[in-house]
Amino acid sequence: QVQLVESGGGLVKPGGSLRLSCAASGFTFSDYYMSWIRQAPGKGLEWVSYISSSGSTIYYADSVKGRFTISRDNAKNSLYLQMNSLRAEDTAVYYCARWDYDILGNSAFDPWGQGTLVTVSS
Amino acid sequence: EIVLTQSPGTLSLSPGERATLSCRASQSVSSSYLAWYQQKPGQAPRLLIYGASSRATGIPDRFSGSGSGTDFTLTISRLEPEDFAVYYCQQYGSSPPRLTFGGGTKVEIK
């Protein structure tokens, strides 16, 4: 079945770095745009970044631009998020999600991984 | 940047009642890129509705979506115990390319 599994979360000091990974299975990974979305504790959802199927097109939310880098390895069916210069406000559960679409062009995030918690604290 | 405003913030209803959730956009949104998600405590969000009105695979027909332009609605015709959760709307805009989520509506048991 279609599955996304994140890893790499943990506790990091302000100013530190962390790299998240998302392993995809059950579908042709190289056919799909992918995205990272985060959720601070007790808060709503915030889109972080997305990357096109080939990796040639990338966009970031203003809140992470210049600090985070999204990438993918289609040979390994994996999505990554390199997070540098981390701040307390980056503390959140980070989800990877597939940007799915149908033949009419309707699109949405489906499925989502289970998430990985990143805590930025001294 | 398009802002999505969901209302009400919390909806207190009993099982069997009808729930009507609103999502209002600060400017017109393409219906193709308007989606609704359900999130239960400790779980990842789950896609319910995409293209403003199409149910995702496996979603019961008590869930329906409608609307266009700046006003969208998620309706749950008869609440089941498992429907008490938080619901988010989400849109994609291409100029500039950005995805945004509404603040969420919590549907709680009255």
Q: Could you read off the pLDDT of B44-54 as tens digits, one per residue?
A: 999 999 999 99
If one counts every other C-beta atom within 10 angstroms of the C-beta of residue B67, the result is 19
Question: Which two structure tokens, joined as six digits, stand for B32?
Answer: 């193709």
Is pLDDT at A101 greater than 90 in this prediction? no
- Number of C-alpha atoms within 13 angstroms, CB side, residue B48? 26
Cβ A3 vs Cβ A110: under 8 Å: no
* Residue B82 phi, psi dihedral angles, 5° rounding: -80, -5
Is pLDDT at B96 greater than 80 in this prediction? no
Q: Which residues of B touch A42 (CB under 8 A)?
A: none
Distance (Å) of CA B19 to CA B8, B23, B66: 11, 13, 13
At A105, the pLDDT band (50, 70, 90 cuts) reads confident
Nearest chain B residue to A94 by CA distance is B44
Interchain contact, B103 vs A102, CB within 8 Å: no
For chain A, the average pLDDT equals 96
Secondary structure (3-state) at B107: strand
For chain B, the average pLDDT equals 95
Is pLDDT at A104 greater than 90 in this prediction? no
The CA distance from B43 to the nearest CA of chain A, in Å, is: 7
| DSSP at A55 | S
Rounded Cα–Cα distance for residues A111 and A22 (Å) = 12
Is pLDDT at B5 greater than 80 in this prediction? yes
Mean pLDDT (whole number) for A86-114: 94
Is pLDDT at A78 greater than 90 in this prediction? yes
Strands A33-39 and A18-25: unpaired
Mark out chain A residues that contact chain B at CB-CB < 8 A: 35, 44-47, 50, 59, 61, 95, 100, 102, 104-115
- Residue A107, strand partner residues: A101
The CA distance from A89 to the nearest CA of chain B, in Å, is: 17
Q: Could you report the per-residue pLDDT of A47-56, keeping only the tens digit for each?
A: 999 999 999 9
Q: Which residues of B touch A109 (CB under 8 A)?
A: 35, 37, 45, 47, 90
Mark out chain B residues that contact chain A at CB-CB < 8 A: 32-33, 35, 37, 39, 43-47, 50-51, 54, 56, 88, 90, 92, 96-104
DSSP H/E element including B77? none
Interchain contact, A44 vs B103, CB within 8 Å: yes
The predicted pLDDT at position A80 comes to 98
At B98, the pLDDT band (50, 70, 90 cuts) reads confident
Mean pLDDT (whole number) for B86-104: 90
Mean pLDDT (whole number) for B23-40: 95
Among B56, B83, B1, smallest CA distance to A98 is for B56
Q: Could you report the per-residue pLDDT of A12-30, keeping only the tens digit for each?
A: 999 999 999 999 999 999 9
Distance (Å) of CA A40 to CA A13, A98, A120, B53: 17, 20, 11, 29
| DSSP at A24 | E
Percent of chain B at pLDDT exceeding 90: 91
Is pLDDT at B94 greater than 80 in this prediction? no
Cβ B52 vs Cβ B34: under 8 Å: yes
Mean pLDDT (whole number) for B10-19: 97
Amino acid (one-letter) located at A84 = N
The predicted pLDDT at position A102 comes to 84
